[in-house]
Amino acid sequence: MSPRLHHAIQAALSAGRSTLAHYQTGVGLELKGDLSPVTIADKNAEESIRQYLGGHFPGETILGEEQGLTGASDDRWVVDPIDGTKSFVTGVPLYATLLAYEQAGQPILGVCYFPALNELFYAEQGGGAFWNGRPIQATTETDLRKLIIAHAGLNGLLKYNRLRGLEHLSSLTMGTRTWCDAYGHMLVASGRAAAMIDPVVSRWDVSALLPILSEAGAVASTFAGRSPLEPAHANGSLELISAAPLHHRTMLEAFGEDPS
């Protein structure tokens, strides 16, 4: 484990654990300009990570969901203090603290910590992917009827015309579940789901996930099979399908965008 990954893990653990002081307490929320919720826990957790990184990597660029961009380098940290704030404010444990480091705009390490579950996923380029210290890999099961697919909420699927494709996939699988946000993608990385369908995400939602998915042998792409870091919508937002390699093409075909 590199020193940079070690410090990323420590920063994410500390920030994530700080959110537990507000978890299941009826914490108040505000609505941001895009109508997404934010709480004092989000703000404090991001500040915690920024303070930690500033102490160990002074002057490095940081992109965070709550405080935006500080610095101008393409070598930067990317922070999502609470991925799944809707889960957090409703007392559901499937929220995560995400931290990535990018070189030349490409994520090379990622940490995904679920404080309420005390589950830690992490990876760095060439070093494998781990869940609470154990190596993980995407499923090699060939029969979709024995697997589940996770997906984001119905509003996004409807808005971006992805619901019909999901309906088709549900007929091929053992079931579909809205185990959404980072948790769904970590189910893919750890071999517990065939795929996760996310029709709209932001950079801080995906940067930490991509190294973990890649090192676990999963495939991550847009619905058209391109890099998930490429803008997919007119407002510049992204989209992400993660899947076991054996089933990635089936996912793309279901949405009518198989690049071949």
Closest to 148 (Cα-Cα) out of 190, 192, 180: 192
pLDDT of residue 257: 64
Domains of the chain (ranges, CATH numbers):
3-127 (3.30.540.10), 144-254 (3.40.190.80)
pLDDT of residue 50: 98
pLDDT of residue 260: 47
φ and ψ of 144, to 5 deg: -60, -25
The beta strands (E) that lie in the chain are given as 30-31, 37-38, 61-64, 68-70, 76-83, 96-103, 106-114, 119-124, 129-131, 134-135, 148-151, 175-177, 195-201, 219-221, 238-243
φ and ψ of 173, to 5 deg: -115, 175
Give the residues across from 106 on adjacent strands. Answer: 103
The angle at the Cα of 251, spanning 249 to 252, to the nearest 5 degrees, equals 65
Residue percentage of the chain with pLDDT more than 70: 98
**Cβ-Cβ contacts under 8 Å for 164 (sequence gap 6 or more):** none
Q: How far is CA 8 from CA 16, 124, 180, 183, in A?
A: 12, 11, 23, 19
Residue ranges of the chain with per-residue pLDDT less than 50: 259-260
- Distance of alpha carbon 129 from alpha carbon 111, whole angstroms: 10
- Distance of alpha carbon 205 from alpha carbon 160, whole angstroms: 18
User: 120: exposed, middle or buried (C-beta count within 10 Å: 0-12, 13-18, 19+)?
Assistant: buried
The angle at the Cα of 177, spanning 86 to 226, to the nearest 5 degrees, equals 85
- Distance of alpha carbon 192 from alpha carbon 253, whole angstroms: 22
Query: Sign of the CA dihedral 147, 155, 159, 94?
Result: negative
- Distance of alpha carbon 188 from alpha carbon 238, whole angstroms: 19
